[in-house]
Chains A and B, each alone.
Chain A
Amino acid sequence: MDSRQVYRVRYEAFSKFSNTLIRSRTVDAVAEALQVNLKYLFNFHVYRLSFNWNDYIVHITVSAGGVEVQQQQSYLPHELQLLQQREPMHTTQPATLDLPQAYNLAEEEQAELWAWCFEREECQIVISLLSGKSRVFTRRDITFVKLLAENLESKLLEICLFQMLDKQHALITSINQHQQEIIEHRTKEIAAKNEKLIEVSIMNAHHLREPLSRILGLITLADYCHTPEELKETILPKLKRSSTDLDEALKAVIYKATAELTELKA
């Protein structure tokens, strides 16, 4: 197979991977797509991607042991160095770096560590790749690493934005629900207050009307008294009593209405 054929096969593999990536909606789905398709694009022992957008950090590591996703900051020392220096890294002595167990290869494998940092706007993506004698990675393969990095960056950014939208949506829904509850509560409160005010008005009217009607009735009767003595003996004591009743009713109504209105204000 000549190099053109190799490129064609790899581009087909890359196209297949891109299609899978388009359908991915979660970081786990992206990680699964990497685990399945990455081996058809280039050789590696360990492939690691670290993505950072607005402090949303995700690390995806693909190795012989499978795929691992970490969604909190756990940059490796060489990645931190890369983020500072922003220059591609290539070393034939990866053992000198403080790397996890998965990066330890037999000496005869002649391990090599490659690493790149890609930045676009506020997105940072760091790719590390461990190759060796049995899984050779050459400079010509870097084209695919870059292509892949661009695709992954777009997809992970899209996932982040969707997650952010989901969070905002949940927050807005929660605020709306809270406001709805407040409105319902206030409406009930106002309805209760209105009912109470109506009760107070009815009570006032009823309690005051009764002694007042008596007074009006007695005044009407006073016109029919034949003598001042009759007026004094029959009407006046009752008028006095009814006036006292009206006074008491007024006091009671004022006291009760004040208490009810104070309670309503609270």
Chain B
Amino acid sequence: MLQMKKIMLVDDVEIANFITASLVNLLYPTYPVYEFTKPVVAFSELNNIKPDVIFLDLNMPEMNGWEFLEKLQ
């Protein structure tokens, strides 16, 4: 059995998160998916969630994807 992975989605467009989450659910129905439209909130939740995979949009207001990654490093 495949090990369960936690998925984090960060995209300011809600529908984009919905599509990605739906596709992940179709492929891996048991994987928990965490959706965020605000990158700042997503970043603050990183330690709590400890995701295995992050789907990160690059072009976002407040904090773009590159800044998110820099901060993460």
| A-to-B contact residues, CB < 8 Å | 206, 210, 213-214, 217-218, 220-221, 224, 238, 241-242
Contacts and interface: CB of A to CB of B under 8 A. Distances in A.
10 contacts: A213-B16, A214-B13, A214-B15, A214-B16, A217-B20, A218-B15, A218-B19, A221-B19, A224-B26, A242-B15
A134 B34 CA distance: 124
Given A210-B13, A214-B13, A238 B18 contact: yes
Nearest to B26: A224
Which interface class (under 10, 10 to 19, 20 to 34, 35 or more) fits B? 10 to 19
B30 interface: no
B15 A221 contact: no
B22 A241 contact: no
B23 interface: yes
Nearest to B20: A217
A138 B44 CA distance: 118
A227 B69 CA distance: 40
B26 A241 contact: no
B22 A221 contact: yes
A43 B62 CA distance: 101
Contacts of B26: 224
Interface of B: 13, 15-16, 18-20, 22-23, 26, 59
Contacts of B18: 238
Contacts of B13: 210, 214
A241 B23 contact: no
Question: Nearest 3 CB-CB pairs, A to B?
Answer: A217-B19, A238-B15, A221-B22
A224 B16 CA distance: 17
A214 B19 CA distance: 7
A247 to B, nearest CB: 15
Given A214-B15, A221-B23, 8 more contacts: A206-B59, A214-B16, A217-B16, A217-B23, A220-B23, A221-B22, A224-B26, A241-B15
A220 B20 CA distance: 11
A224 B18 CA distance: 14
Which of B13, B15, B20, B59 has the most C-beta atoms of chain A within 10 angstroms of its own C-beta?
B15
A162 B57 CA distance: 74
Contacts of B19: 214, 217-218, 221
B40 to A, nearest CB: 21
A217 B26 CA distance: 13
B14 to A, nearest CB: 9
A230 to B, nearest CB: 11
A224 B20 CA distance: 14
A221 B19 CA distance: 7
Which of B19, B20, B22, B23 has the most C-beta atoms of chain A within 10 angstroms of its own C-beta?
B19
Nearest to A242: B15
A238 to B, nearest CB: 5
A206 B59 CA distance: 10
Contacts of B16: 213-214, 217
